[in-house]
Structure 1
Amino acid sequence: MPIKIDVPFSHKDEAKKLGAVWVPDVKTWVIPDHIKDINPFKVWLPPNGGTFVKYPYLIAQSERECWKCHKTTPLIGLGAKVYITSVFDSIWTIYDYPAFFVDIKSVDIAVVSILSERFPFFRETYSKTLKKNVWVNNCIHCHTIQGDDYNIDRSYVFGGYQNEKRTLFRGKQMEQIQLRFDYYIDSAIYEGEYYWDGFQEAE
């Protein structure tokens, strides 16, 4: 799917020359999907980096016992099979490798709309521990944050992740949501092919 970019009117000829396309019904410029290297468009991409999630757009569903009230509460995790990411104005690089997104600071408004309607327990919440707003699961009973560190075991051994890493999304339902454009997310990325049961079926 195309990637939306913020092109000022004075830059439109330059963007068009690089291959950007104007979409009149939503009044935005996009990078067409056939363009794999988006670095020539860097001036119109988020200046602090982040990630563009490529189709298919995945939501994994699971549940856990709330650490506070001990009742069962649902969880979701935003996932991707393919994504383009950049860190602190570095090169935008494409990865064809399964990933979940954690420590989510912001997410595209199109995804926010779906989350608000279907998964209201996954919302932007102030974390006293992190001292900032993040997108996280909240218990449907007591509304306590079910932090990423509770849902994904991120232990280290000898400088790398253990191969037996666990996630509460393993082997759970992986749903594909429908969006018109590839969406942007500002988050950390938790990747690892060997424990992503369910990604193969999420075509």
Structure 2
Amino acid sequence: MDERKMARIDLAVPFGQKDEAKALGAKWDPVLNVWYAPEDVDLIPLLRWLPDSDTVELEHAPEYQVRAPYYYIIESTSDCWKCSTWTRVYTFMLPEGHEKFELVDDDEEFSLERNLGEWIRHDHRGTAGTVHSLSPSVAAQVRRYTANLKQAFSKTAGHRYIMNHCEHCGTKLGDFYMHSEPGGAFFPTSPQQASKMTLIKINERFDANCGVGFVTDDFFDCMQRDKTRSV
């Protein structure tokens, strides 16, 4: 999705949500005592904090910008860079037909008064990465399988997101290697590697703010199915 540049926009961020807003690119103005969206930041993740007005149609800005009718929790393994021990790691796979909310691009100058968007359907499977927030129901499902997928600050990314932690020493394990490097925990390059990954199907709606990546051959059919833990 292309970023839309615009003048600074002040935000109405509750104190309890300031860390999440900061992770999504919001800045604090110590003079005016207000959070704001800088002109070079992607506005969509911050739309929920736009102040109420007669011209801003907040109904076009859903709380979660990625959705699917069901999803899979992927269980894989990765070596911990700190203690050199293999640890279980988790992420989400979304089915064909998952949707992402995007601003309408009609070749006109973007303005807050329009604030229009649409759900774009993607007819391929995708793996969720850089997850900023999960709906309560998805978060509850994750907690059934692991307590080591949780919010943390990434120096590499420069912001907070929900990342894996080593189940042995608690070290943060960032998304980049596992999601973006061929052979990483969630980027299998062969049927043999995919066969070591387990899919747990969750027959509930998926809602989150995250990125979704995909590859031409994800070896989906080679992954194990754990029907005993499926919901």
TM bucket by the smaller chain?
A: 0.5 to 0.7
Q: CA deviation at 1:116?
A: 2.1
Task: Give the Cα–Cα distance (whole angstroms) in 1 for the partners of residues 123 and 156 of structure 2.
Answer: 33
User: Which residue of the partner structure matches residue 103 of structure 1?
Assistant: 130
Q: CA deviation at 1:145?
A: 1.4
User: Which residue of the partner structure matches residue 163 of structure 2?
Assistant: 136
- Could you give the per-residue CA deviations for residues 56-78 of structure 1, whole angstroms, max 9, x where no partner exists? x1011111110111011101111
Letter in 1 for 2:199: M
Q: Does 1:188 align with 2:205?
A: no
- Could you give the per-residue CA deviations for residues 69-124 of structure 1, whole angstroms, max 9, x where no partner exists? 10111011111113111234542111121100111101111011122232111112
| Structure with larger Rg | 2
Letter in 2 for 1:66: C
Among 115, 123, 126, the alignment partner of 2:142 is 115
Task: Give the Cα–Cα distance (whole angstroms) in 2 for the partners of residues 87 and 100 of structure 1.
Answer: 18
Partner SS state of residue 118, structure 2 = coil
Among 44, 54, 58, the alignment partner of 2:59 is 44
Alignment of 1:160-179 (within 5 A): 165-169=182-186, 170=188, 171=194, 172-179=197-204
Q: Does 1:86 align with 2:101?
A: yes
User: Which residue of the partner structure matches residue 89 of structure 2?
Assistant: 75
Partner SS state of residue 110, structure 1 = helix
Gaps of at least 5 residues in structure 1 are 1-41, 155-164
Task: Give the Cα–Cα distance (whole angstroms) in 1 for the partners of residues 139 and 219 of structure 2.
Answer: 24
Letter in 1 for 2:81: W
Q: CA deviation at 1:193?
A: 3.6
Percent identity for Structure 1 against Structure 2: 18
CA RMSD of aligned residues (A): 2.7
Moved more, 63-72 or 45-54: 45-54
Query: Structure 1 residues 48, 118: CA separation in 2 closer, same or farther (over 3 Å shift)?
Result: closer
Query: Structure 1 residues 200, 140: CA separation in 2 closer, same or farther (over 3 Å shift)?
Result: closer
Letter in 1 for 2:202: I
Task: Give the Cα–Cα distance (whole angstroms) in 2 for the partners of residues 59 and 199 of structure 1.
Answer: 15
Aligned residues: 149
Partner SS state of residue 152, structure 1 = helix
Letter in 2 for 1:192: V
TM-score, length of structure 1 as denominator length: 0.64
**Richer in strand (by share):** 1
Partner SS state of residue 82, structure 2 = coil
Task: Give the Cα–Cα distance (whole angstroms) in 1 for the partners of residues 212 and 132 of structure 2.
Answer: 12
Q: CA deviation at 1:45?
A: 5.1
Letter in 2 for 1:177: I
RCO greater where, 1 or 2, for CA within 8 Å and sep 6 or more? 1
Letter in 2 for 1:134: Y
Task: Give the Cα–Cα distance (whole angstroms) in 1 for the partners of residues 206 and 59 of structure 2.
Answer: 15
TM-score, length of structure 2 as denominator length: 0.56
Letter in 2 for 1:188: G
Query: Structure 1 residues 115, 47: CA separation in 2 closer, same or farther (over 3 Å shift)?
Result: closer
Query: Structure 1 residues 201, 96: CA separation in 2 closer, same or farther (over 3 Å shift)?
Result: farther
User: Which residue of the partner structure matches residue 180 of structure 2?
Assistant: 153
